[in-house]
Copies of this chain bind each other. A is one copy, B any other.
C-alpha cells in the first residue's frame, strides 16, 4: 500500500468517526489530517497551518489549533512529548524516571535499572547517537482515584 493510499484510508476512517459521533466532517479538518498523515516529520501547528494554507488559503490559526485538539481527543493523532503547559523542574540528579498523573499533574520519581540501560534498537542507531533516555509512566495517582470513587459513589451521604 502506497503512502497516498494510507493517507486516504486514514482520512476515510476519520470521516467515518465524524459521522458516527455527530461531528462535522469539514473540508478544513480533512485537509489538516491529510497533511499530518502524509508527513513523517512531526510538524508543529504553525507548520501545518502554512502547508494547509496552500490548499485552503483562508484557513485560520484557531481552526488549526482547534482541529488538532479535536483529532487528539478522538485518538486520531497524538501530541509528541509533554502535554503540560508549564515547565516543571527537578533537583534530583540521580538517574531516575517519572510517574505523572494525567489528572492533577502530580509527578513522582522512581528508579529502574532496566529502563536506564534499555538496549537501543538498531532502527535508532541509524537515526543518530543516543545520549539519554526519558521515560514517563502516565496514569492516575492514588489521590485522584479515590476522589473519583467518592464522586461516583454519591448515593445519599449528607453534605
Which A residues lie at the B interface, using CB under 8 A? 10, 33, 36-37, 39-46, 48, 68, 72, 75-82, 84, 86-93, 98-102, 106-112, 114-115, 118-121, 123-124, 126-142, 144-145
Contacts and interface: CB of A to CB of B under 8 A. Distances in A.
Given A44-B86, A89-B80, A127 B142 contact: yes
| Copies of the protein in its oligomer | 2
B142 A42 contact: no
Given A93-B76, A142-B127, A43 B88 contact: yes
A129 B107 CA distance: 13
Given A78-B93, A86-B44, A133 B137 contact: yes
B131 A138 contact: yes
A75 B93 CA distance: 8
A1 B93 CA distance: 16
A115 B79 CA distance: 19
Given A89-B68, A134-B136, A135-B135, A128 B142 contact: yes
A126 B130 CA distance: 31
Interface centre among A36, A68, A82, A102 (most CB of B within 10 A): A82
Interface centre among A48, A78, A141 (most CB of B within 10 A): A78
A144 B128 contact: yes
